[in-house]
Structure 1
Amino acid sequence: MGDESTVGIILAGGRGERAKPITLQSADYIRSKALIPFAGRPLIEWIVEACRDQGIRRFYVVAQGVENRSQIKLVLGHGERYGVEIDYSRARFDPYNVGSGAATLHNLEQWNLTGTALVLPVDSLFDFSLDRLRAAQRDTDAVVTVAAVERTPEEIAGKYGVMRTTPQHLVCGFLEKPELGAIRREFPEITQPCGPNTLATNAGMYLIDCARLRLAARTPELIRLAHQRLDWGHDLLPRLVGLGHPVTVEPIARLGDLGNIHDYLQTLGDALDGRYPYLDRALGAPLSADPRYWIHESSLRSKDHVTGTTLAQKIADGSVAIGPGVRIGRHVEIGAGVRLRSTDVGDGVDLHEGAQVEGSVLGDSSVIGPYAHISDSYVGPMVQVESELRAPVRLEDLTAVGDGARLWSGTRLSGVSVYPRLQVPAVRGVPSGTQLASSDDVLRWV
């Protein structure tokens, strides 16, 4: 277990622009990234519990603005339900939280922290060992220990920054989102037959020595940047290294990004496949081990309104097929002929006969009409998919439908984002990447 003197600092003030419409409750009301629904719970609950299980008992949440702060506080309170203590950044400091690095430094001063802290964002899922991070920091006497994920050059190219390290695992340089050719030139060892085939990339989680970091940040340049714009990866780490402060790297087992639709669905699939042990333990024993899935008992007892048979009966007679990597929440009604695979089904969902869903999320109280085909897509809470046999709805290839939207029979969308509460008639041919953010946007394709 981790040392209980380590505290958690959760950076929760981002606006979640990349994850829209998941982070939208309406076209002009942003849901905190911390409250993104994930496997039946708000994401921040999984983060708090994962850290608590490794010995962290006190958390500081850096929020931003009245909506962000109040939304998170309604979920977490002051930590009573989780057996921890949670404090929140003061509202008067919001104007100074200009970037992840600035938010960290300003709030270290606010809370007068001098011990060890684990700094982490709310748009990622981590599989990590706090003990290993602490050991790496102790062995190198580092001010900051960067949690790192090993990635191949192909995964890195144009998307992730790379850290150069010494044989002692201290960071000595950075390469910001290099192209594949630059990676091979700067790291020729990865092309050698017996050389490593991965490089360390920043996971966005940092174990910090608070007292030493506060002292290190008291230079004119860092003070100036902390009042303008100071991010951890782009600004703070390179400057600490440039000033000669020891920054070390320690690999973690896994990082799942939830900042966009593609990464959200991929991370959810990995979680339901058992690749995040702490989340796997929290979900409990699956109802079936092969194929592996979870179904709440209230849903097993639920009868569909057409045949009057329970889900348990339909699974037994083969009229409903549940594949691997499926989680079904409470009071879900599922009709005959439904096929589910690698999908998270929220509470109170209605899945009518013949619907087929794979690699997707169905939000709480959504209604999926007969014979709908949904693959690799996100369907938000209270969405109505009015499909039918002669005019089925088809959603695929990273389509995302925001809260309370309504899709009419015959709609076909591929790679399209639909903002909350929109009415979408039977449209086809909308180009991938389109955002339907208003009724005017929808009318262009009718």
Structure 2
Amino acid sequence: MAMLEEKTLDDVVVILTSAGKGTRNFPINLYSPTSMIPKGLLRVLGTPPSELQIRQLMGWLKNFFIITQYLENDDMLSNRFGDGLGRFGVNINYSSPLEDLLNNGSGESLLRNILEQKYGGHSLVLANDNLYETDWPEVVRFHKEKGAVITVMATLMGARETIGDYGLLQVDERGRVVRITEKPKNEAELVKTLGIDDPARLGDIQVRVNTAGYVIDNPAFKDLAREDWVREKMKKESGEFDMAGGLIKGCVERGIPVYATLIDNWGDLGTNVKFLATVERALGREYPSIDSLLSKRGYHHLKNNVWVHPETYLATRNGNPSLKELIETKAVEIGPNVFIGRNVEIGKGAKIRYSSVEKRGYIGEEANISHSVIFPTCRIGKRARIDRSILGLRVVVNSSPENPTVIESSYLGPVVVPAGIHIINSPGVYPGCEFGPDRVIKDRVLLPSNAAVMRVVDSYTRREA
């Protein structure tokens, strides 16, 4: 990283945003049919992205503020990070629950909280369910030198990748944003937006997109709240006032200085498809901050790009050989591009490729896992095959040599899968669902049964009594 003047970051506070219900990551982020885990706490190679962001910045910045909405976001994030002093050596404060009730979109929430906290200087704003790699001081210096009210942290992306998902940023030669285009709905709309005559050219075009990371001039930002158009948009009855398509777009249209700067890398974890793709990129060592953290924590980095927690690598249980011995004797096949967390047990004959297996899991003998993410405390039975899937917390996959279970291109919450089941292309297998007599579940969502939901409600009622 560039060696810049220390004063570059002297007046900067970090704001992390966690204000969604996480529905686009259902069911992998569910504890039960009625409670979710904040997206910022879903682990990527052993570390939640919100924690990674704090660790990336704590060497330069000491004041953090987390904007939350909904009980799970507020409760789980504040329980994990506390005041930040003991664990990170930083100060972490949280938005008021009363303020959170007023949340009316990301733009409205940022304006209101920066006003409420009376922040001067500048804010570095990050969505806590994204991965960011950049030279942080350089981003802030760019923002200050340009005299921007808002600087958007942008990334380059193939034009076709934006369809249905990302709006486009158009900038001039100085990096000033001159136009923001809504997410193109289809290829024809994208071609029109880019002003090209041949759709075949789309494969060669890269465009700038917003990563939901910003640097904000706080005094100038607060002045926006006094403008009539902003005051009107902030009203509940005006509908959701988001940051990208609402506040920033309005600023650009009115000539208020908004700039964009490219960052080194970015990972979107906001849907299950994107989560899986981003983890695969992390396994491919595209995020140096993750590699650095794993090295600091003493993970063994083996050939074929395999990261293994030291306790998992060296532990022997019940007289069984350690994972180190199993790898050295070729009794298991691990790699390429694999992460294995703490206290994971792996049986003989298991094969794991291009996958992340988080802490306290069990992988049975001759199980085959590829291009998948296995969350903490999962149990995978003998000869099970998991391919291009995500298994949420504490998924149990029963399987045996006689009745092997197969899970392909599917996303599971905390469930117990019967032996011999084939789950193929399921957008969601929810906790509390009931597996019927069908042995093949294809292109279907399994929702929680009413009985399962009532059991959860009843358990809470009994607990309160």
1:230-283 Cα deviation digits (max 9, x unpaired): 101110011111222100010112111111111111111111221111111001
1:61-113 Cα deviation digits (max 9, x unpaired): 11123332111111010112011110111111122211110110000011001
Residue 371 of structure 1 pairs with residue 379 of structure 2: no
**What 5-or-longer segments of structure 2 have no aligned partner?**
453-465
Q: CA deviation at 1:440?
A: 6.9
Which range is displaced more, 60-69 or 139-148? Answer: 60-69
Q: CA deviation at 1:34?
A: 2.1
Q: CA deviation at 1:431?
A: 3.4
Q: Is the 8 A contact 2:352 2:369 kept in 1?
A: yes
| Number of the residue aligned with 1:107 | 113
Which range is displaced more, 97-106 or 137-146? Answer: 137-146
Alignment partner of 1:317 out of 329, 333, 353: 329
| Number of the residue aligned with 1:5 | 11
| Number of the residue aligned with 2:189 | 182
| Number of the residue aligned with 2:287 | 276
Superposition RMSD on alpha carbons, in Å? 2.3
Residue 204 of structure 1 pairs with residue 212 of structure 2: yes
| Amino acid corresponding to residue 255 of structure 2 in structure 1 | G
Q: Distance in 2 between matches of 1:290 and 1:91?
A: 48
**What 5-or-longer segments of structure 1 have no aligned partner?**
none
| Amino acid corresponding to residue 300 of structure 1 in structure 2 | Y
Q: Is the 8 A contact 1:412 1:427 kept in 2?
A: no
- Equivalent residues in 2 for 1:149-298 (5 A)? 149-178=155-184, 179-188=186-195, 197-228=205-236, 229-284=240-295, 287-298=300-311
Q: Distance in 2 between matches of 1:419 and 1:146?
A: 36
| Amino acid corresponding to residue 413 of structure 1 in structure 2 | I
| Number of the residue aligned with 1:384 | 396
1:168 match: secondary structure: coil
Which range is displaced more, 126-135 or 353-362? Answer: 126-135
Q: CA deviation at 1:289?
A: 4.4
1:183 match: secondary structure: helix
| Number of the residue aligned with 1:439 | 449
Runs of 4+ in 1 over 6 A off after TM superposition: 189-193
TM-score normalised to structure 1 length: 0.92
2:25 match: secondary structure: coil
Q: CA deviation at 1:196?
A: 7.8
Q: CA deviation at 1:180?
A: 2.8
Residue 329 of structure 1 pairs with residue 341 of structure 2: yes
Residue 66 of structure 1 pairs with residue 79 of structure 2: no
| Number of the residue aligned with 1:79 | 84
| Number of the residue aligned with 2:459 | none
CA gap of 1:381–1:188, structure 2 versus 1, over 3 A, is: same
2:399 match: secondary structure: coil
| Number of the residue aligned with 1:24 | 30
CA gap of 1:245–1:115, structure 2 versus 1, over 3 A, is: same
Q: Distance in 1 between matches of 2:372 and 2:389?
A: 5
Q: Is the 8 A contact 1:355 1:371 kept in 2?
A: yes
Which range is displaced more, 5-14 or 154-163? Answer: 154-163
| Number of the residue aligned with 2:312 | 299
1:15 match: secondary structure: coil
CA gap of 1:326–1:214, structure 2 versus 1, over 3 A, is: same
Q: CA deviation at 1:8?
A: 0.7
Q: Distance in 2 between matches of 1:289 and 1:190?
A: 49
CA gap of 1:158–1:364, structure 2 versus 1, over 3 A, is: closer
Q: Is the 8 A contact 2:342 2:360 kept in 1?
A: yes
TM-score normalised to structure 2 length: 0.88
